[in-house]
Chains A and B, each alone.
Chain A
Amino acid sequence: MTRPASHVRPARSASALRVRALGVGALAVRALRVLDLPVRALLGALLAGLSLAGCAQPDPTHSAPAACGSAAPNAVPVDAALRNGRADPEPHRVEIPVNSPVLLGVTSDVAAEVHVHGYDLVYPVRPGSPACVLFVAGRTGVFDVEAHPEILLLQLEVR
């Protein structure tokens, strides 16, 4: 049980930080995903509509303000905010290509603890001081990013 005390977990290696060139396989995967996404979004909207009438899909254009500067130009920026005990924008899913660096910024109006599941990153966030964490998404899967206790901010879909 080592406990890194910094906000930022050191990236595994410099080579891992380099963005991978898109191979043929990745292109094929991307093509499949293009077909796949509309259906998934449609079904998701259907599910949301069933769960609560009048509940809108999280608007992808309305994202939280960038909490972190452009410290890592190659990294995928992901931003979330916690306001009045809710995720703002609403909990949603962000697709991340595997092995790409992720710059995750979280702002909050209360002191909270942010937990990135799967990568087991836990770090604090305070009002006025957004938390930034840079890590390499080297594990595939769907991982919750939560403000403890139990407020889902977003999910990282690493594939």
Chain B
Amino acid sequence: MEQGFIALDGVSHRYGGQTAGPDNIVAVADLTLSVNRGEFAAVVGPSGCGKSTLMKLVTGLQFPYAGSVAVAGQKVTQPVKIAGMAFQAPTLLPWRTTLENLLLPLEIVQPHRSQLRRRKAEYVARAERLLASVGLDGFGDKFPWQLSGGMQQRTSLCRALIHEPQLLMLDEPFGALDAFTREELWCVIRDLHATRKITIVLVTHDLREAVFLADRVFVMSARPGRILAERKIELPRPRDLDVTFAPEFQAIVHDLRAHIVSARQ
């Protein structure tokens, strides 16, 4: 496993200007974290701890005022195009069908953008395969508002994967779903990670989710966010949902929970 596929070193970031002041919110301070290639990392922490800032720093939507961020061995100085993103809201475009929504990234990102016309059939086939892999075969013609919340979120995941990124950034992607749908999607993500061997960073406040899915869990402190603890999850893969009821699983969750409680104080 390649070390340090994502490497944050002493990163500090604040919104609203470079100098300290009452209006400036220090989002993260002296954040150091490293994720290996192909690893599934989860970041947990109290709300407002700068988890979303972490997402933006890694994908190159924001740049730190101190420290350095590198992805795939390169310092992040512009948006990282090898990343796909999905959020709590599926953010699908209501005027496009599910399939057209999936193709959106290909209309933006190079080299696909300039090949779109030529390779259209191939891209459509790819999108349909992707939909089938998350259990949505045959839903390509439907509009997003004709899909349930869980199906919309699956579509959003597919959209994040369509340009075959090496890195998938997930910001509380299951936060708005009911418990059963959420566990269903855990399995979808687990299988995507297993088959595609991509690096995934999952930001969440659900500890069970983090422990079930991740190889490694990072606990962040309250703002300004730092990494308080790092925990390797050595539960054997492939993991079944039943593992969430096993005592060793519960023990890890309890242990992490204690860190979060102390982080909130």
A joins B in a complex? no
